[in-house]
Amino acid sequence: MAGSSDNEYIPANVATHIKTLRRRIKLSQRQFADLIDVSVTLLKQWENGQAQPPISYWQRIVVAETKGIQALRHNGAGASRIYEPGVDYVINAESEIHS
């Protein structure tokens, strides 16, 4: 498609892609939904192929996949939430870590 960049393309197998990524980074549906700032219900619809994410959310998923989940900013106020299996960190702009 002329004028489109790769991150504006949502693949036909988006449902499988999202579920595979979430499982690969070992996040629950709740954790992944929180990370990309959507409801669990919506994430389940995406993973089951009942709905397709808007391009803005697909771009967040691509960022999580290509740059790692720590690249996603959360809470809009300069805080990032980083999930690791069994641990949940919130890092604010002043580099304080709260677990």
Q: How would you write the pLDDT of the chain (99 residues) with one tens digit per residue? A: 333 444 467 888 999 999 999 999 889 999 999 888 899 999 999 999 999 999 888 888 888 888 888 887 544 444 444 444 454 444 444 433 344
pTM: 0.64
Q: How far apart are the first and last CA of the chain?
A: 45
What CATH number is given to the structural domain containing 12? 1.10.260.40
Q: Which domain holds residue 57?
A: 6-72
In a domain, 55, yes or no: yes
Provide the number of structural domains found in the chain.
Answer: 1
In a domain, 1, yes or no: no
How much is the pLDDT for 2?
A: 38
In a domain, 59, yes or no: yes
Taking CA 77 as the corner, what is the angle to CA 60 and CA 31, rounded to the nearest 5 degrees? 45
